[in-house]
Amino acid sequence: MITVDRLYVRYDDTNILEDINLNLPTGITCAVIGPSGCGKSTLLNVLAGLQKNYQGLVQINGENPSPEKQTIGFIPQNYGLLPWLTVKENILLGLKIKKEAKQGLPQNLVDNLGLSNLLNRYPNNLSGGQQQRVSLARAFALKADLLLMDEPFSALDAITREEMQDVFIDLWQKQKVSTILVTHYVEEALYLGQKIIVMTSAPGGIYKIIDNPLFSDKNFRDREIFSSLSKEIRNYLKKAGSKNER
């Protein structure tokens, strides 16, 4: 359970996040979408326990966010791989930090992601899609309490991005890990989020929370509701970005 009650984040004299309120049940995926600079990444940093300077209540399963107490996976836009470590070492890194590396390499996960023949390579010898697979392997190997993803597929070309979205859905269906995903793409939000949070322009607040019937439907673009729901979300984004419409 993720609980956020009257969250404010302030830098100097400027509010970055303002009056954020959320209650998300365990095992849900939530896509966060909004204008650039509205504080989406800051919200992830608070939930990750990296941003501790805030006002309000933030809890994961009844406790304040803490990487020491909870297992929190984080996938940034640049994949977050360490270039001096091999694929195998990068996958095991999170388990090593949590002192669980003795469990060994999660071979089924590695095989499912097609990484078995890449284990001794370094990140700079991998394509963007391969690097993303390594990043997903590291995150899902943790069997995390919470997975945070900050525009994880935005650096990929359109075809590879869609492929990696499918890979994520397949992994998530096996683990049902609570996931919050930041994205700039309406279609990505419709495919990957059971709930879609539309944020306002800075200072970032929540404009609308949408229950998404198209989540994980690989044929979501063919559904009758797709066009109307896409249009609805885009209209929300326009209104959320305009102070006159709030």
pLDDT of residue 178: 94
Tell me how far apart the alpha carbons of residues 162 and 157 are, in angstroms, rounded to a whole number. 9
> E strands along 151-243, which residues?
179-182, 195-199, 206-211
pLDDT above 70 for 246? no
pLDDT band at 179 (very low <50, low <70, confident <90, very high): very high
Least confident interval from 6-10, 63-67, 102-106, 184-188 = 102-106
pTM given for the model: 0.91
Residue 67 has phi, psi (to 5 degrees) of -60, -25
pLDDT above 80 for 153? yes
CB burial class (10 A; 0-12, 13-18, 19+) of residue 226? middle
Tell me how far apart the alpha carbons of residues 186 and 240 are, in angstroms, rounded to a whole number. 14
Tell me how far apart the alpha carbons of residues 163 and 191 are, in angstroms, rounded to a whole number. 12
* CA Rg value for the chain: 18
Task: Single out the residue of 182, 142, 190, 139 nearest to residue 162, CA to CA.
Answer: 190
Contact, 180 vs 15, CB < 8 A?
no
Mean pLDDT, rounded, for 223-240: 92
- H helix intervals, 26-176: 40-47, 87-97, 107-112, 128-141, 158-175
pLDDT of residue 78: 85
pLDDT above 70 for 75? yes
pLDDT above 80 for 174? yes
pLDDT of residue 192: 96
Please state, rounded to an integer, the average pLDDT across all residues of the chain: 89
In this structure, the number of other CB atoms found within 10 A of the CB of residue 220 comes to: 18
- 70-74, 110-114, 224-228, range with greatest mean pLDDT: 224-228
The residue with greater pLDDT, 193 or 112, is 193
In this structure, the number of other CB atoms found within 10 A of the CB of residue 63 comes to: 11
